[in-house]
């Protein structure tokens, strides 16, 4: 039975979902993905989530139960369950490898200066080289192919001394649309998981904070954004360095099965004067 309170909550939830989805729909339309195009992947996502998060303990998950939970027809559920795969695509593997290499360069003391900044690296050598950096993550990936890719994307450059220099304090694949989409999915997906966890009230809340201000001049906004970016990059670098040290310490610990995702963003826009 629906109470007035639950009805009001449903209205608030519907408005919240609309707010969350509008930027996504804008992205979809800009890429030529229309409402009918979205129906098939949306059905698959409903089935996957039911499979992963709504199984009954010690009971086999059936097509009928998944259909009941999701509203997707049982025949469709059977087809979609057979399609579920957790195998990463080659672009996802490439993006993940690049992120690991970047994490080593910005978090491993072997590749940092005394002040904690990423060192310029030689192309080859056992120490302080791009080759050694790549090999800390994978012996199967040729360092030259990674370097060529990063040079093409503008992530690194080669200075007058022939040393490879990191151009950004963080990994921003400006040229590679596939990698940008990969990291967008990870970042937004994990942030939404935090929001979902905190709204469910079933587990300990996860940290999620933001600051909002309006009525600012472009100059004031630029000043705030500059400081926010500098301090966020410094904090991300510090967390990355700490996580790298602790990961090495926990290498032989059988209880080391946890992971985390920590990020930062800064959204700017002109005011919507319809908002009061």
Length of the chain: 276
* Residue closest to 243 by CA, chosen among 97, 100, 43: 100
- pLDDT average, residue stretch 139-164: 89
Among 77-91, 104-118, 199-213, which is the least confidently predicted range? Answer: 77-91
Give pTM, 2 decimals. Answer: 0.73
Cα gap 193→199, rounded to integer Å: 10
Greater confidence (178 vs 30) lies with 30
Whether 171 has a pLDDT exceeding 70, the answer reads no
E strand map for 71-136: none
Q: Rounded to an integer, what distance in angstroms lies between the CA atom of residue 12 and that of residue 19?
A: 11
Domain ranges of the chain: 90-166
pLDDT, position 125 = 87
Cβ(46)–Cβ(72) below 8 Å? yes
């Amino acid at each position: 039975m629906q109470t007035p309170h639950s009805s009001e909550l449903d209205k608030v939830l519907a408005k919240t979902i609309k707010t969350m989805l509008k930027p996504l729909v804008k992205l979809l339309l800009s890429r030529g993905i229309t409402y009918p195009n979205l129906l098939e992947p949306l059905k698959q996502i409903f089935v996957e989530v039911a499979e992963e998060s709504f199984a009954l303990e010690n009971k086999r998950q059936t097509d009928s139960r998944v259909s009941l939970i999701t509203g997707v027809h049982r025949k469709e559920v059977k087809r979609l369950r057979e399609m579920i795969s957790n195998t990463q695509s080659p672009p996802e593997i490439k993006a993940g490898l690049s992120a690991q290499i970047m994490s080593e360069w910005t978090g491993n003391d072997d590749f940092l200066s005394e002040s904690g900044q990423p060192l310029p690296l030689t192309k080859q050598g056992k120490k302080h080289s791009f080759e050694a950096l790549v090999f800390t993550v994978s012996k199967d990936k040729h360092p030259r192919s990674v370097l060529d890719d990063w040079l093409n994307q503008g992530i690194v450059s080669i200075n007058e001394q022939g040393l490879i220099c990191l151009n950004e304090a963080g990994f921003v694949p400006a040229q590679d649309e596939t990698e940008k989409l990969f990291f967008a999915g990870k970042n937004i997906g994990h942030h939404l998981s935090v929001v979902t966890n905190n709204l469910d009230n079933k587990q300990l809340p996860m940290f999620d904070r933001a600051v909002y201000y309006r009525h600012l001049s472009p100059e004031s906004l630029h000043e705030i954004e500059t400081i926010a970016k500098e301090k966020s990059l410094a904090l991300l670098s510090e967390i990355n360095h700490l996580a790298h040290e602790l990961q090495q310490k926990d290498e032989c610990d059988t209880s080391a099965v946890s992971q985390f995702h920590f990020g930062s963003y800064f959204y700017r826009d002109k005011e919507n004067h319809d908002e009061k």
